[in-house]
Chains A and B, each alone.
Chain A
Amino acid sequence: MRRVPWVALGALMTWLGAWAASFLQPIAALLPGCAFKRLTGFACATCGLTRCLMALGARDWSTAFHWHPAAASFAVLLPIAALWDLRRAWRGDPYPRLPDSRLARLSVWLGLIAVWVLQVARGI
């Protein structure tokens, strides 16, 4: 199992997903909007993700960054993570454990909340 580059495979699947999402462009206006936003009037943390993914599929990076800065930044980091994972799998190293640190967990929570606040503030 250590020899399987799961992160690299995940990156490949994400890229394929973005490529497939670009085919949704002609019917983008017909896709139903976010149910959370319809009910509350506020964007959810993932609002803009579909449009970001469609823009990524079309390799339109600036539009993708506009719709969901966090997801677009994540997409930029994916090839780096995939390369790291391929090297790890080649060497047969185990995946590192998630840090048992309250600070690390709190930072991720704050990051997620910050993304949400950003999307709400920009009215995405």
Chain B
Amino acid sequence: MEWPFAAAFRALRSPREAFAAPPPGLGRAVLDMALVWVPLALLNATWSAIRGLRVYESLRGGALPVHVLQWLRLDPGNLQELVAALPAPPTFGRLWPWLILLVPLGALGTWLHHAVWDHMGLWLLGGLRAESGFRTTLLAEAQALRFAAVGTLVGLLGFLPGLGVWLVLPLLLLDAYLWMFRGFALAARHGCEPWQGLGATAVHAALLGCGFLGLLALLFAMIRVAP
């Protein structure tokens, strides 16, 4: 009997061979992705929400991460005024039904988002073939995200007390690898060169990574390293 996620770790270790087998149908690939990713994402979101609520409460109590604010060249006084006026956080009991609704929607939304932007990136790099369209990209993304979902599991290590701070950089590097990993699936399913698949994910990251994703990454990092 294989360990859970053994196939995913094998695929991540040998990305060129991970997509050598004939692809399943799109519906099967999306179902497989959802069955692996959604439970892990729910676990991650639950832990993030509990931790986020605790951080929010401690911020309201005046425990500001002054060294982080100084690094960001922000005035702690301004933030102190702002957080003092913030409302009390909701209880987790009121939050969890929203998580159950929003996490699966978020997973599917992320899959579609990656497919749209990676397809665009692949086109910009000349990696699209006449016979393969957007459906092929959707399939490649679903297959890659099914394997990359183990990153969510590994990411939970970042919440370990004391260890989280030290794992921020390795986990960011893992995130970067998992981001690029989709490129191997794109290359295999579209029949283009691996550099074109990897480049498509890089173009996607360059266009979006500088803006909102950077901001989100910073917010998540702050939740993990906050006292």
Asked if A35 meets B214 with Cβ closer than 8 Å, knowing A95-B134, A97-B133, the reply is: yes
Contacts of B74 in A (CB 8 A): 30, 32
> Which listed segment binds A: B1-9, B89-97, B122-130?
B122-130
User: Which residues does chain B contribute within 8 Å of A31, judged by CB atoms?
Assistant: 215
Binding site for A on B (CB under 8 A): 72, 74, 78-79, 82, 112, 116, 119-120, 123-124, 126, 128, 130, 133-134, 206-208, 210-212, 214-215, 218
The interface residues of chain A, by DSSP majority, are classed as helix
What 9 pairs between A and B have smallest CB-CB spacing? Answer: A44-B210, A46-B211, A46-B210, A98-B123, A49-B211, A36-B210, A32-B72, A35-B214, A105-B124
Is chain B's interface secondary structure helix, strand, loop, or mixed overall? helix
B82 neighbours in A (Cβ, 8 Å): 26-27, 30
Q: Does A45 contact B (CB under 8 A)?
A: yes
A26 to B82, CA, bound (A): 9
Q: What are the residues of chain B within 8 A of A10 when measuring CB–CB?
A: 116
User: A50 at the A/B interface (Cβ < 8 Å)?
Assistant: yes
Chain B hits for A23, CB < 8 A:
none
State which residues 13-37 of A face B: CB under 8 Å.
26-27, 29-32, 34-36
Q: Which of B79, B124, B133, B208 has most chain A Cβ within 10 Å?
A: B124
Asked if A34 meets B124 with Cβ closer than 8 Å, knowing A50-B215, A95-B134, the reply is no
Shortest beta-carbon distance from A57 to chain B in Å: 14
Task: Note all chain B residues with C-beta closer than 8 A to A102.
Answer: 126
Q: Which of chain B's residues have a CB closer than 8 A to the CB of A108? A: 124
